[in-house]
Amino acid sequence: MSTEYSILQNTALFRGIEESDREAIVSCLTNGVRECMKNEVILLAGDPVEWIGVVLKGRVQVVKEDLFGNRSIVTELSAGDIFGESLACAQVRQSPVSVIASTDCKVMRLSAERLLTPCPAMCGHHSTLLRNMMQLLAEKNVYLNRKMEILSQKTTREKVMAYLGEQAQRQGTYSPVIPFSREELADFLCVNRSALSKELGRMQKENIIRFHRNQFILSTDKHAD
């Protein structure tokens, strides 16, 4: 398997499948690999959902815009992550979200129809793929529930602390590095960019947090009121 596909061994969708078998599966399912420049649209809201994306390199963001142009970031994905699986399983005809390259990236497209329909060429491996798919859907549901908890916080400060706390727990450190710029973090938390910057400044003055670019340091003896 070429080096650009080596990331698949760490992709949850292919968990429990040997490399030689992955080659056959990819050959059966793939709709090609696309290289994208930063800020390039990979999937546009309204497009038909015909494939599931696997990020082979770089990072992408799943974003949603309302009728008034307000933008929110649903999630950011990196190498080894997949997108579009929930839409494909739900048989959504048109994507309600867009997927945009947040860095230069490479994305493999897997046929949703061939993945979700039994294929004689894939024999026993198909059941493993579908089992992995079910686990991925469950994990995504947990993630979305957690994000709803973050967004349900009443103030910008509470949202920031809930998000940073979640990142600290996930990364196992009180100095988490987040994947967002300030504008992107505002979009993710659904808050005003200016209000977010002011609140971060106040929190730093109160020694609740310290930050430099994308790295935040959480105080262990102070908390947000």
The DSSP 8-state label assigned to residue 173 in this structure reads S
In this structure, the answer to whether residues 119 and 76 fall within a common structural domain is yes
Span 115-153, pLDDT tens digits: 887 666 555 677 788 889 889 999 889 989 999 999 999
In this structure, the answer to whether residues 128 and 36 fall within a common structural domain is yes
Full residue range of the structural domain in which residue 123 is found: 3-149
In this structure, the answer to whether residues 102 and 211 fall within a common structural domain is no
User: CA 211 to CA 175: how far, in whole Å?
Assistant: 9
| Inside any domain, residue 223 | no
In this structure, the answer to whether residues 165 and 80 fall within a common structural domain is no
Residue with tokens 């990331």, as numbered in its chain? 7
Q: pLDDT band at residue 106, thresholds of 50, 70 and 90?
A: very high
pTM beyond 0.85: no
The DSSP 8-state label assigned to residue 95 in this structure reads -
In this structure, the answer to whether residues 136 and 69 fall within a common structural domain is yes
In this structure, the answer to whether residues 136 and 26 fall within a common structural domain is yes
> Helix 125-151 vs helix 156-171: angle between axes, to the nearest 10 degrees?
140
In this structure, the answer to whether residues 95 and 160 fall within a common structural domain is no
| Inside any domain, residue 165 | yes
Instruction: Provide the CATH number for the domain around residue 205.
Output: 1.10.10.10
From 149, 168, 201, give the residue that closes a domain: 149
